[in-house]
Amino acid sequence: MQLNLDLSQLNDALAKTATITGNNTITGAVATAMLRQTQTRFRTQTGPGGQKWQPSGRVKRATQKFIGGNAQTLSDSGHLRNSFTTATNNNRAIVGTNIIYAAIHQFGGPFTIPAHTRHSAFGRPTKPYTFPATQKNMPARPFLGFAPENITEITQIILVIMQKTIGGGQ
C-alpha cells in the first residue's frame, strides 16, 4: 500500500533541478514531508481530513480498566506505524508500507476471523473449545492521503527549492 504523488507536470523544472543539484532534491523533500505527515497521523490518531479515528477495541478495554492511559489505536506493537518508507525519482515521491494488513485499516471493510480451537485459558490447560468463524467489520482509519494543509506544505517545499535552485534565490 502506498501514496504516490506524481509530479510529472513539473517535469522540466524538476529535470533542471536534478541536473543542477545532481539528485532528486524536490521529490526527496516532498517524500520526507509526506512521511512526516503520515507519522503525525499515528500520533494524533486522525485521518488526513482531521477526523479522529474510531478507537480500537484494545484501546476501549484499556480505557475502561484505567490501565491504558497511553494506549493508541493502530499502535499496539508499532509494527505498522514504523513500517513506512519513501522512494523517489525525478518525477515521483512515494510513501508506502508493505504490511499486508495496512489496507484494511486504511479503507476499512469486512473481514473474517476463521474458526479456531483453544486448548488453554489464563495459562492453564483446558478442554479444547472451538470458536466458530466470525464476520467483523473494520472501521476505516486512514493514515495515507492529503489534507489541504498537506498540499500547502508540499507546494511551499517545491517553491522554495525551485526558487533556490533555478531562480537563484536566497
pLDDT of residue 55: 85
Cβ neighbours of residue 72 under 8 Å, at least 6 residues apart?
42, 45, 59
pLDDT of residue 12: 63
pLDDT tens-digit map of 14-43: 666 655 555 567 888 899 999 999 999 999
pLDDT of residue 60: 75
pLDDT of residue 108: 94
pLDDT band at 11 (very low <50, low <70, confident <90, very high): low
Cβ neighbours of residue 12 under 8 Å, at least 6 residues apart?
none
Q: Please, are residues 10 and 24 in contact by the beta-carbon 8 Å criterion?
A: no
- CA dist., res. 158 & res. 21, Å (int): 14
pLDDT tens-digit map of 85-127: 999 887 788 999 999 999 999 999 999 999 999 888 888 888 9
In the chain, domain spans: 2-107+140-165
Tell me how crowded residue 40 is: count the other CB atoms within 10 A of its CB. Answer: 12
Cβ neighbours of residue 46 under 8 Å, at least 6 residues apart?
52, 53
